[in-house]
Amino acid sequence: MSCGIPGAGDNSIIVSGSLTGAYSSIWKVGVGYESGNAYILNGVGSIDGMGKFSVSVAKNLGGKTVYAFYDINANNKLDSGERVSYTQPPINIGSDNFSGITIDVPVITMVTLSGTLTNHFAPGWKVILGASSILHLTTDRCITPDSSGYFSINVEAYTISVQLSAFRDDNGNNIFDPAELISPDVKTFSISNISVSNIKINIPEFSLKTISGTLKGNVFGLSVGVVAYDDNSGQMAYSTPSTAMDIPFDVSLLTADSNEIRLYYYIDGNGNHGYDGSPANMITENIGLLTTFYGMTNQSGLTVNLVPKMVTGNITGSGAADMKSVYIFSAPAISYFPVSGGTYTLKFYTGAIGTTNSSLYLLVISPDEETGIVNMLGAIFVAVPVIGKNILSTNDPVLGNNYTGKTNTVDFPVSKYGIMGIISGADASLFKFGLLDSINSSTYDMVFKSYPQNTVKYIYSYGTVVGNTFSCLFKDENGDNQVILNEINYKCSDPIFLSQKTFSNQVVYTNKFFVYKTSVNLTVSGNLTGYVNPRVYAGSSSLLGVKTYTPVSQTVEIYSELSNTGYNNWLLLFSDVDGDGEFFPFYDKIISTNTVSWTTPVISTNLTLYITNHL
């Protein structure tokens, strides 16, 4: 019984076994690995009434873990926070089926949250269970109440915090979509082992609220309009932009009497006479906060004086011709204008009724940055330039307070560096060349994307900063054309050789990797009875994410990279305390009485690991 199965026929194998303990149909079984706070599964399977499971996965994945997880939102994914049980040590997935796995699962206590949508409830309104500090559901759970507004939902007991809210599902897809109406009445609970009933979620009466007035002082002649957004109802409205000096506006949006309406100005950058943002992403166009209304009914005769600001400068250096735009950012405002002929003029406004004395980040970016300004700003404090997200400066000019036409000049000298990878040696076709693409500031995951060999990719640096970047050689065992390395615990989604390069001049640097393979005819001698998850580690000191092996006599292959890191191989037996299939000397215990290491390259060798049972 399987769901979401990759591969088929000759390209896949079956991993099978059974669950013991307090299993139920809610439990699922997945095969994969953990990266940071996320689980990457290569296959997922359901269980039958006897607890038996079978999961189809692609052949030759290498070392993977079999997880039993309590799929509380029934999405066939192991979401962060869902209960996981993996008493089975990691397995080595090759070309043959793998059977006989037994995983014991604990008792899961569920409680019920039930109640009613009240007051102005009507068909189409639904309840949503949001993320919490324990569940961390990546997909919110949606519940359709009955005709009276009654709802009921099961959650795991002893959950620290859950949130219940209501929304009007206009398109009937059981998902909260941006711009759908939401109720401001949000209920938050700490859950023990007792069900909670008689919950009341108020659906208020919604009516159109209008804001009208005039934007004064469009001295730059930009195409400017206003955007109104209510944080409580999730509704948004905008006015038609104009290039006039003084611009009248009139916007109406559906809100309750309890509202929090933010009024922004926006610049119509693409000339389509409208605002292109959404409640989910307000900063797809130049935008700046003017003021906020609380509990507003209607607002008319509003006058907003636009305070002009301007930053100009030159882009010089070997990378100048590649630069695309200059951005200036100060939450919740953003402005950006194109670079043309090595110069730029950045024009924007602040509002006299809003905050105008604030520091701003001034950035210039390359054309590789196409993934959105939110991702770009999230990488501001990344010290190492990354491919595809080239942040050139974090100048912090203070533009003053209410100085009409205040002008700043900021120049950007930009250096350009090229890098390409070449892989040779034993089994070179199994490896890929990777460059650092992004760094997740919350999970500390470094993502390396693969790039073709002999293809130049560019990075850039600002001012006198010397260009440098991380590149790598990795064995793409899960076939996703990337490798994820966690900066904190050094866990990797694939085996990886890491290389950091510093560029002294504006040239193309060729990063050569030479792969060397050593076959070890391994003998394991001794009694392993009583040890927790005994495993064999066989790898190079410079290789991260090394897969481990079942502690039996066998032939194992160790790959080394000689051009950048050198040859230094070692072999040991350890107790895999956390069952993740990897060796970490900080908390995994070495149990072999000998640890074998050697620094002279050999194609093959015979080695023995000894263990004396001293438990």
Please spell the DSSP secondary structure of 17-78, one letter per residue. EEEEES--TTEEEEEEEEETTEEEEEEEE-B-TTSEEEEEEES--EEEEEEEEE-TT-SSS-
Kindly report the CATH number assigned to the domain that includes residue 538: 2.60.40
Do 285 and 302 reside in the same domain of the chain? yes
Domain termination residue (choose one: 40, 74, 105): 105
Q: How far apart, in whole angstroms, are the C-alpha atoms of residue 45 and residue 3? A: 5
Number of domains in the chain: 5
Which residues of the chain are modeled with pLDDT < 50?
Answer: 1-8, 131-139, 353-360, 369-396, 400-405, 615
CA atoms within 13 A on the CB side of 238: 22
Looking at the structure, do residues 52 and 89 belong to the same domain, yes or no?
yes
Per-position b or e across 243-279, b if 16+ CB within 10 A of its CB: eeeebebebebbbbeebbbbbbbbbbbeeeeebebeb
State the CATH number of the domain containing residue 269: 2.60.40.1120
Per the omega criterion (within 30 degrees of 0), is the bond before 332 cis?
A: yes
- The verdict on 121 and 255 lying in the same domain is no
Token reading at 518: 């050593």
The range of the structural domain enclosing residue 275 comes to: 207-410
Q: Do 605 and 476 share a domain, yes or no?
A: no
Q: Are residues 384 and 255 in the same domain?
A: yes
Residues 376 and 232 in one domain: yes
Which of 86, 105, 124 terminates a domain? The answer is 105
Does 6 share its domain with 101?
yes
Query: Residue 608: which H helix or E strand, with range?
Result: strand 604-611
pLDDT number for residue 416: 80
The answer to whether 503 and 554 have CB atoms below 8 angstroms apart is no
The pLDDT tens digits of the residues spanning 36-82 come to 566 888 999 999 989 999 999 998 887 788 889 988 778 888 875 57
Tracing tokens 């402005």 back to the chain, one arrives at 335
Q: Tokens for 325, please give them.
A: 């735009």
Residues 398, 442 within the same domain: no
Please tell me whether residues 262 and 328 are part of one structural domain. Answer: yes
Of the candidates 373, 375, 370, the one whose C-alpha atom is nearest the C-alpha of residue 388 is: 370
- Domain-terminating residue out of 410, 443, 472: 410
> Do 548 and 495 sit in the same domain of this protein?
no
Residues 311, 451 within the same domain = no
Whether residue 521 sits in one domain with residue 391? no
% the chain with pLDDT above 70 = 80
Q: Which helix (H) or strand (E) holds 230?
A: strand 224-230
CB atoms inside a 10 Å sphere around CB 507: 12
Residue 307, token pair as written in the block: 């305070």
